[in-house]
Amino acid sequence: MTRLRDTDAEKRAQSGRSPDFLEALARGLSILTAFDGSRPQMTLSDVSRAVDLPRATVRRALYTLEQLGYLESDGKLFRLTPQVMGLAGAYLGSAGNAAALQAACDKLCQETDEACSAAVLAGDFAVMVAHSSPPRFLSTAPGIGFRVPAFCSALGRVLLAGNPAAIDRLQPQALTPKTVTDKSELAAIIARAAKDGYALSDQEAELGFRSLAVPVRRFDGRAVAALNIGIRIERATPKQMRETFLPLLLAAAGELQSRVV
């Protein structure tokens, strides 16, 4: 059995995890999720730095993931393979809400000629589980599985509004000059999203883009997802977004209430 580094052992002791927690699996998953749009391919050293694990540990994990077909390598650089989509497909196939959310996104996209997404909260991120874009965006639009930080995105803020415990864990870092990182200010913004029933993020996650989101609630009022319309800033002001898109988002979320679990 691989011996835990002293620092890893201390972290596990502080986390309160039981001895049943499988470190090797956690490390492998952390390596898989280290690859993203900003890091589509990495060397062994790159991965080691990204996940803060020893090179020897990372080397074994990379070899295992490559043998299983989740990674490929040219001998130096590692990258994800399409087989990773099987993991997402398993979730989407087993999550009864995915089809209903995708249908809602498709309808909103047709009505507005703008990109529409649905997301769920996963840790500190809002993860897209449905997405629809007009033809002009197809080559560049983010797709299913794309993650945005919850604290600065409209999708994330409406999801955090129903999860106070998650707010306490936030570690905000500026993504743009407009990103709000003060935790007391963020708490107030999220509280306002809970009161208003929607959130608007104006160039906080990405310069040049603003987005508007509403929660999707199931029969008992619990928010299980969020619906979002995102646009380039020249296409509409925040006021225009509220006037034009908010009624459509609220109507779509209302129709979904009897269809999600």
3-state SS, the chain, equals CCCCCHHHHHHHHHHCCCCCCCHHHHHHHHHHHHCECCECEECHHHHHHHHCCCHHHHHHHHHHHHHCCCEEECCCCEEECHHHHHHHHHHHHHCCHHHHHHHHHHHHHHHHCCEEEEEEEECCEEEEEEEECCHHHCCCCCCCCCEEEHHHCHHHHHHHCCCHHHHHCCCCCCCCCCCCCCHHHHHHHHHHHHHHCCEEEECCCCCCEEEEEEEEECCCCCEEEEEEEEEEHHHCCHHHHHHHCHHHHHHHHHHHCCCCC
Q: Give backbone dihedrals phi and psi of 10, rounded to 5 degrees, phi first.
A: -65, -40
- Whether 218 shows a pLDDT value over 50: the answer reads yes
Domains 6-80 and 91-256 share a fold: no
Contact 125, 142 (CB under 8 A): no
Interhelix angle 44-51/23-34, nearest 10 degrees: 110
> Which range (35-39, 147-151, 212-216, 222-226) has the least confidence?
35-39
Class of domain 91-256: alpha beta
24-33, 161-170, 235-244, range with greatest mean pLDDT = 235-244
Q: Which two tokens stand for residue 166?
A: 């998650």
- Whether 116 shows a pLDDT value over 90: the answer reads yes
Residues 59-72 have pLDDT tens digits of 999 999 999 888 99
Residues 18-75 have pLDDT tens digits of 778 888 888 888 898 888 777 889 999 999 999 999 999 999 999 999 998 889 999 8
Enter the CATH code of domain 6-80.
1.10.10.10
* pTM confidence score: 0.69
Task: Please compute the mean of the pLDDT values over residues 9-14 and round it to a whole number.
Answer: 56
Task: Please compute the mean of the pLDDT values over residues 169-175 and round it to a whole number.
Answer: 87
Give percent of the chain with pLDDT exceeding 70.
86
**Distance between CA atoms of residues 99 and 140, nearest Å:** 23
Report the amino acid identity of residue 87. Answer: L
Domain boundaries along the sequence of the chain: 6-80, 91-256
- Whether 7 shows a pLDDT value over 60: the answer reads no
If pLDDT is split at 50, 70 and 90, which confidence band does 1 have?
Answer: very low
**pLDDT for the residue numbered 207:** 95
